[in-house]
Amino acid sequence: MVLVLGATGFVGRHLVKRLLDDGYDVRCLVRPKSDLSVLPTHRVELATGDITELRSLAAAMEGVEAAVHLVAIIVEQGRSTFEAIHVNGTRNVVRAAAAAGVQRLLYVSALGTRPHAVSRYHQTKWQAEMLIRGRGDPTGRPYGWTILRPSIIFGEGDGFTRSVLSLLGKGPFIPIPASGRARLQPIFIDDLTACISWCLGHDEAVGQTYEVGGPERLSFERVVDMVAQRMAVRQRKLHVPLPLMFLVAYAQEILSRRPEVTVDQLKMMLEDNICEPTVLKDSFGIEPTRFEDGIKTFL
Ligand SMILES: NC(=O)c1ccc[n+]([C@@H]2O[C@H](COP(=O)([O-])OP(=O)(O)OC[C@H]3O[C@@H](n4cnc5c(N)ncnc54)[C@H](OP(=O)(O)O)[C@@H]3O)[C@@H](O)[C@H]2O)c1
């Protein structure tokens, strides 16, 4: 039995289908208000729980051989802070997995995660990684862990392509933050779920941290061009100066409950988010999907 935490999210809903196709029994951790319509109606077990509440995880972990931890937030809201979800939540996942005798724990982190990262998202993801690896938590780690650090992930229902689409057709220009030259290495969702499934089936993945991305390093501006071309949108681009972008982000954080962009996200957008382009082929035997080909499957 594989437990997927974060099953109703973008990655989770694709992963659940992939694991079922690969013959795994799947249990999904869901919250009372989670949208269950995104999950298959049969062949999956549901367990209600919240990673911020340790006690709620015990029943979900019962009889589980492997757990895939996908729970994260990109924007803080109320009590859902990076500290609460990424750090304290992961501590709970680790404790519950250890107590239940789970043999494998796979954590989806993010490329750019490192100590002293510029964004709090990455800083707290680093703290989560350390907990998964077994440092900073006194309970000890009887399970075999694996960490995947993807670059931006794209596919049906992803937030990244949606936010690029929202830039098109909004006004006379397509706004590009700053120079738009920071590079990304978009990884197609089907390739990522194939990596996760591969890791669960291979002991050599235990104790490994894999940085994963697609075959191309693309600037944000190039990505916008590709999406605009696919959507047959012809619009001029306007590079928005950095101070103005930060001002907009600050204002949105203060004025909106659901900001379109935060200061933390802007900081991340300004740095390269890239890894070895051959990693999917070399480590998992997967031929990675190009961005242009991948978006044709859902745009
Ligand atoms: N998307 C990307 O481009 C990208 C890139 C790099 C790394 N990642 C990493 O990939 C993983 C999956 O990302 P995603 O895009 O699938 O995220 P997502 O769409 O935002 O999904 C987040 C999931 O976490 C669940 N969740 C949130 N708070 C929870 C809590 N307190 N207890 C239990 N569940 C909770 C949500 O459940 P509800 O449905 O109930 O809200 C949802 O199922 C994350 O670790 C993320 O950091 C994503």
SS (H, E, C) the chain: CEEEECCCCHHHHHHHHHHHHCCCCEEEEECCCCCHHHCCCCCEEEEECCCCCHHHHHHHHCCCCEEEECCCCCCCECCECHHHHHHHHHHHHHHHHHHHCCCEEEEECCCCCCCCCCCHHHHHHHHHHHHHHCCCCCCCCCCEEEEEEECCEECCCCHHHHHHHHHCCCCCEEEEECCCCCEECCEEHHHHHHHHHHHHHCHHHCCEEEEECCCCCEEHHHHHHHHHHHCCCCCEEEEECHHHHHHHHHHHHHHCCCCCCCHHHHHHHCCCECCCCCHHHHHHCCCCCCHHHHHCCCC
- Residue 278 domain flag: no
77 Cα–ligand 1 center, Å: 14
- Residue 283 domain flag: no
Q: Looking at residue 244, what is its pLDDT?
A: 92
Q: Output the CA–CA distances (angstroms, integers) from residue 39 to 10, 176, 189, 229, 238, in the order listed.
A: 11, 35, 16, 32, 40
- Residue 284 domain flag: no
CA 288 – CA 215 distance, rounded (Å): 6
Are 11 and 127 in the same domain? yes
Identify the residue whose C-alpha is closest to ligand 1 atom 15. 10
Q: Looking at residue 140, what is its pLDDT?
A: 62
Are 89 and 136 in the same domain? yes
Q: Which domain holds residue 257?
A: 159-184+216-273+290-295
Identify the residue whose C-alpha is closest to ligand 1 atom 40. 34
Q: Looking at residue 175, what is its pLDDT?
A: 87
Are 99 and 245 in the same domain? no
7 Cα–ligand 1 center, Å: 8
49 Cα–ligand 1 center, Å: 14
Which of 17, 26, 108 should be mutated for ligand 1, with most atoms under 8 A from CB?
108
Question: What's 52's domain CATH number?
Answer: 3.40.50.720
Q: Looking at residue 139, what is its pLDDT?
A: 67
Are 114 and 223 in the same domain? no
pTM given for the model: 0.96
9 Cα–ligand 1 center, Å: 5
Are 204 and 177 in the same domain? no
Which ligand 1 atom is at minimum distance from the Cα of 52?
31
Q: Looking at residue 177, what is its pLDDT?
A: 83
Looking up tokens 């911020």, which residue turns up? 52
How many residues appear in the chain?
299
Mean pLDDT (10-residue bins), the chain, 299 residues: 98 98 98 96 94 97 98 94 98 95 97 96 98 77 92 97 88 85 96 98 96 97 95 91 90 88 91 95 97 97
- Residue 135 domain flag: yes
- Residue 280 domain flag: no
Are 201 and 223 in the same domain? no
Write the pLDDT tens digit of every residue in 215-244: 999 999 999 999 999 999 988 999 989 889
Q: Looking at residue 178, what is its pLDDT?
A: 83
Question: What's 171's domain CATH number?
Answer: 3.90.25
Q: Looking at residue 123, what is its pLDDT?
A: 98
Are 143 and 254 in the same domain? no
- What single letter denotes the amino acid at residue 186? P
Q: Looking at residue 137, what is its pLDDT?
A: 65
Identify the residue whose C-alpha is closest to ligand 1 atom 19. 9
Are 23 and 37 in the same domain? yes
Write the pLDDT tens digit of every residue in 197-209: 999 999 999 999 9
Identify the residue whose C-alpha is closest to ligand 1 atom 47. 72
Which ligand 1 atom is at minimum distance from the Cα of 111?
6
End-to-end CA separation in angstroms for the chain:
34
Are 139 and 174 in the same domain? no
- Residue 227 domain flag: yes
Identify the residue whose C-alpha is closest to ligand 1 atom 1. 153
Are 251 and 103 in the same domain? no
Which ligand 1 atom is at minimum distance from the Cα of 153?
3
Are 135 and 92 in the same domain? yes
Q: Looking at residue 138, what is its pLDDT?
A: 66
- Residue 23 domain flag: yes
Residues whose beta carbon lies within 6 Å of some atom of ligand 1: 6-12, 29, 31, 34-35, 50-52, 70-72, 85, 89, 108, 110, 150, 152-153, 160
134 Cα–ligand 1 center, Å: 22
Q: Looking at residue 136, what is its pLDDT?
A: 62
CA 17 – CA 20 distance, rounded (Å): 5
Are 59 and 105 in the same domain? yes
What is the total count of domains within the chain? 2
Identify the residue whose C-alpha is closest to ligand 1 atom 5. 152
Identify the residue whose C-alpha is closest to ligand 1 atom 21. 9
Q: Looking at residue 261, what is its pLDDT?
A: 87
